[in-house]
Amino acid sequence: MKAVIVLFADAPSWLHLSGEIKDFLSDMAQDMDTGLWLFYHQEKPVMIPEMVDSLSSLKLIPIHPPCPPESFLGLLETVQKTEKADLLIFSGDGLGEELSTRLAFRLNGSSCLKVEHCIKTPDGIEVSRSVYGNHLKACFILKQPPFCISPARRPSRPARVVPLPCPASDLPQIKPIPVKWIKSISMTKNSQDKGWIDADMILVAGQGVKSRENIEILERVARHMGAGLGASRPVVMAAWMDMNRLVGASGSMISPKVCLVLGVSGAGVFNAGIEKAEFIAAVNTDKDAPIFKIADVGIVDDLMAVLKELEKLILSRRPGSLAGQQEAGS
Ligand SMILES: Cc1cc2nc3c(=O)[nH]c(=O)nc-3n(C[C@H](O)[C@H](O)[C@H](O)COP(=O)(O)OP(=O)(O)OC[C@H]3O[C@@H](n4cnc5c(N)ncnc54)[C@H](O)[C@@H]3O)c2cc1C
């Protein structure tokens, strides 16, 4: 079976997405001829994420901004005409999922998203994924190639980048296919998106934080600690924090050295997002909160009181600590 990984080098968190694909492929543990089609719009990549032991082929595909899915799809259709891959593995983010579904439709193939496991069968592939809000696991047999799939999100480490391991074949210039129905596209960079996921220490705010004003205090303490800041679902749904800060099965899977969880009850879907942290400390007023089952250290107390003491402690250890303590007290 000829497989290719399809990735966009300028996508946010593309190394995390590559890490997820790497773990997905190592679970498959089947010998496959696997290549990489790497889209880029800024500089031509000289390093690529390491996802398989040896890549059978590498294509670097320039794409001109703005990069709507239509542009990727047109290029993918053209490349697939000559390459004839049987299995196309897309990233697990929104773009990967959209391309996977739409390309399969255009090529009269089959698609499955959020795939947890995939095995070859004599007449196609068998994929399994969670369904019905993670209550059931379903197996699907895809028989109509090309098979376009994207892996389920998982708490993977970012993939290591390595120099190009095999010669990259430059594609003959493919003319971008004009998309007439899009009149204009504008992109606004999210100012909060600062790679918080990669911080060694992450604070996670839950509904127990109670207000947007209290989130500002958390932001300040996180700044003092040099920590990233994530949130549970009620916090982002209340718009106290940006949606890209969501931790859990529906958001980011984090794996910091230290994770301080404040006012989170510990639902399974949330816990899935922090279980790869090396050390978990949780603060909750309810001594029976499920979060304590996965915490290395649990503090039964009001989170604001704990935060205040923590901030005092951090500032008191800094040079010029008196000024710092005054800030914490204000
Ligand atoms: C399909 C599906 C997917 C989902 N995906 C996610 C996901 O990815 N991420 C996610 O977070 N949720 C997700 N959810 C929602 C999830 O089930 C929970 O509802 C959510 O995680 C609860 O968030 P929370 O713990 O912040 O709030 P709550 O459950 O309301 O808990 C608040 C906690 O704060 C404590 N508390 C209150 N006041 C204080 C105080 N002053 N000091 C200290 N502690 C205090 C309370 O004792 C309580 O334990 C999903 C749900 C579904 C159905």
Give the count of domains, the chain: 2
Q: Is the CB of residue 80 less than 8 Å from the CB of residue 146?
A: yes
- Residue at 184 is within a domain: no
Q: Which residues of 100-124 are buried (b: 16+ CB within 10 A; e: fewer)?
A: bbbbbeebebbbbbebeebebeeeb
Å from CA of 79 to ligand 1 middle: 45
Q: What is the pLDDT along the chain (330 residues), one digit of tens a residue?
A: 899 999 999 887 899 999 999 999 998 866 788 999 999 987 889 999 999 988 899 999 988 877 788 889 989 999 999 999 999 999 999 999 999 999 999 999 999 999 999 999 998 999 999 987 677 899 999 999 999 999 998 888 899 999 988 777 766 556 666 667 777 767 666 555 657 888 999 999 999 999 999 999 999 999 999 999 999 999 999 999 998 899 998 888 899 999 999 999 999 999 999 999 999 999 999 999 999 999 999 999 999 999 999 999 998 887 766 555 555 555
**Last residue in a domain, options 161, 180, 206:** 161
Same domain, 53 and 145: yes
Owning domain of residue 213: 196-329
Same domain, 257 and 321: yes
Same domain, 121 and 45: yes
Same domain, 16 and 76: yes
Same domain, 218 and 111: no
Same domain, 308 and 237: yes
Residue nearest to atom 26 of ligand 1 (CA): 206
99: number of Cβ within 10 Å: 23
Same domain, 69 and 149: yes
Same domain, 304 and 261: yes
- Residue at 168 is within a domain: no
ipTM over 0.90: yes
Residue nearest to atom 16 of ligand 1 (CA): 267
Length of the chain, in residues = 330
Same domain, 6 and 132: yes
Q: Is the CB of residue 88 less than 8 Å from the CB of residue 111?
A: no
Same domain, 118 and 249: no
Å from CA of 159 to ligand 1 middle: 30
- Residue at 190 is within a domain: no
CATH code, domain with 157 = 3.40.50.620
